[in-house]
Amino acid sequence: MNLDELRSQPHLSCSSISLYMDCSLAYKFRYMDKIRSKSVADALVFGKAIHAVLERFYNSLMIGVVTPVDALVDLWELTWKEHAENRNEIHWKRGNSFETGLLSGKSLLEAFAKKLEVVDTAIIGVEEAFSFSVDGLDIPIIGVFDLVLEDSSGIVTIVDHKTRAKAMPSRDANESLQASIYALAAKINGFRFNDLLLRFDCLIKTKEPKFEQVYTTRSELEIFQVARLIKQVWAGIQAEVWLPNLGSWKCSGCGYKQACQDWMQEGYDHG
């Protein structure tokens, strides 16, 4: 299943569903009006670069090749430059820069390589694209599993890579919309639901970088609930319900600030 082909057709995704729920006006600007964001958060660029390195790492591991730490760091340097060097549109958080990102990525990947254990586990998918349909919805939901593992007992674990500023509490994993959508996707696509685990592999940017794995599961009720939620999001989109999330902490780094201000002033009589 090719992700580019899936993206070329009308669809929903974890990111678009989350964006609508977070700020439906930003969804309108991005997906309906096709307005190009004026800026991109450095954390997003950093996360994508880490994902690219881990994809290479696990593709090699899948064929039995373990990438040494020094090679992983070298790969990071090249990947970070490709993603972040000389990009004026990157909105750097105070204290962050291209150079700090370079050093942070090295430290995180060293921590990752030191702690990662792959024992009695087969890699059955890396960057595995998926698509599924929900009853009553005339548009597919698509996405990508970062990593899919299966142990000798048949337990399948769907892994999502995360870069974070602090450790992920179990509550965050248990309440994650993304994990719920992934569980729904796995069930509809034929994975044995009772033998399914979800895991967040977190590279944590604390003073001493850490790598932690946080597991979660979903019940049949939670799967039903997320399907219902997706339907309601689509209903809101179809009804053109666009509401700005004024005062959100994300507003300061939003690439649609000017578009939002213009929209808020439409029809205002200056006289």
pLDDT tens across 242-270, in order?
A: 999 999 998 988 889 999 999 999 988 77
- Angstrom distances, CA of residue 92 to CA of 83, 89, 208: 14, 9, 21
CB 146 within 8 A of CB 127: yes
CB 108 within 8 A of CB 209: yes
User: In this predicted model, what pLDDT tens digit does every residue of 162-181 receive, in sequence order?
Assistant: 999 999 999 999 999 999 99
Alpha carbon distance 43, 84 (integer Å) = 11
Q: What is the pTM of this model?
A: 0.92
The residue ranges of every structural domain in the chain are 10-238
pLDDT value, residue 232: 97
Q: How many CA atoms lie within 13 A of 11 on its CB side?
A: 18
User: In this predicted model, what pLDDT tens digit does every residue of 72-85 receive, in sequence order?
Assistant: 999 999 999 999 99
Q: How many CA atoms lie within 13 A of 262 on its CB side?
A: 7
Name the residue with tokens 């209903």.
235
User: In this predicted model, what pLDDT tens digit does every residue of 126-162 receive, in sequence order?
Assistant: 999 999 999 989 999 999 999 999 999 999 999 999 9
Q: Give every CB contact of residue 195 below 8 A, 6+ residues apart in sequence.
A: 154, 155, 156
Query: pLDDT tier at 271 (50, 70, 90 boundaries)?
Result: low
pLDDT value, residue 5: 87
* 145: phi then psi, degrees, rounded to nearest 5: -85, 120
pLDDT value, residue 262: 94
pLDDT value, residue 252: 84
User: How does strand 156-164 pair with strand 196-204?
Assistant: parallel
Alpha carbon distance 138, 262 (integer Å) = 32
CATH class of 10-238: alpha beta
pLDDT value, residue 1: 66
Query: pLDDT tier at 193 (50, 70, 90 boundaries)?
Result: confident
Lowest average pLDDT, out of 14-18, 186-190, 249-253, goes to 249-253
pLDDT value, residue 54: 98
User: In this predicted model, what pLDDT tens digit does every residue of 86-132 receive, in sequence order?
Assistant: 999 999 999 999 999 999 999 999 999 999 987 779 999 999 999 99
- Angstrom distances, CA of residue 163 to CA of 15, 105, 197: 16, 10, 20
Lowest average pLDDT, out of 41-55, 105-119, 225-239, goes to 105-119
